[in-house]
Amino acid sequence: MSPNPSDSPRNRWSDLERPPLGAASLRRALVRADGLWSSLEVVQSLGSTNTELAERARLGAAREGSVLIAEEQTAGRGRLERRWTAPARSGLFFSVLLEPDPPMRRWSWLPLLAGVAAASALARTAGVDMALKWPNDLLADVDGEERKIGGILAERTGEHSVVLGLGLNVSLRADELPTTGAGSLALAGASATDRDPLLRAVLRSLEDWYGRWSAADGDPSASRLQEAYAAGCATLGRTVRAELPGRGELRGEAVAVDGEGRLVLATPEGVQRPIGAGDIVHLRPAE
């Protein structure tokens, strides 16, 4: 008789070091009548939480504050359709549906807001000094190297709504990393890798920062979001090379993040050039 698939040592769901998320306890902790999060669902496997939640929003099957979490993503996406891959239950892969009240011109701050919220929550809960790479990466030190621990993707789903997705590597081991530039909280020396309290901390921090930003009508200065982002942004002060569509590039020192969430580069010609996330293909250190 063939063995039970769940007993197989090669089964991706049998790793006892990676227990499943507790959906019921997460809902009790996070979903409140007076809070932002209106529903929370954990699914075992999904192509992309952003794609699924956006489709639900278009069909009217999701409302603001919906949280969709996947234990495994088989077609996870980053900016410009880049793939995001990780073993099942090795990280936090989730999306939230938001209907921002501030003017749409300020929605470009949402991925930066998510970065501030996640980085501050993880620093407190996991004890890892997190940094932000403009526009949408979470970084941490792994063996003396700056590695990407997480990524953020914001996508408009309609005239009044945005799906905000976050992928975070929690327990990935060195032999499981998808690229040499990737890392995980565990490899960065996290004091805690239990995903339930990490997820609660990130979602509570996101609710807090979203509330501040919304109360200030999206003003990044009045909400102190611009100040917090600049304080945690590892890109500022570095000389970088922005690869542009059509194989062009722009080099300069990253000197500020402006009121629209754009990165301001001081070029060798003495000109300050703001660039938006949609204007670039890659942002890399200048050689």
Confidence of residue 16 (pLDDT cuts 50, 70, 90): low
List 128's β-bridge partners, or say none: none
> What would the pLDDT profile of 55-90 be if each residue is shown by its tens digit?
999 999 999 999 999 999 986 555 445 566 789 999
Please check whether residues 176 and 281 belong to one and the same domain.
no
Please check whether residues 38 and 132 belong to one and the same domain.
yes
pLDDT of residue 113: 98
| Number of separate domains in the chain | 2
Q: First CA to last CA across the chain, in angstroms? A: 60
Axis crossing angle, helix 195-215 with helix 225-232, rounded to the nearest 10: 140
> What would the pLDDT profile of 191-227 be if each residue is shown by its tens digit?
999 999 999 999 999 999 999 999 999 999 999 999 9
Please check whether residues 209 and 141 belong to one and the same domain.
yes
The answer to whether 162 and 95 have CB atoms below 8 angstroms apart is: no
In the sheet that holds 249-257, the strands lie side by side as 272-275, 263-266, 249-257, 239-243, 282-285
pTM of the model: 0.91
SS3 content of the chain, % helix, strand, coil (to 5): 30, 30, 40
Domain encompassing residue 186:
5-231
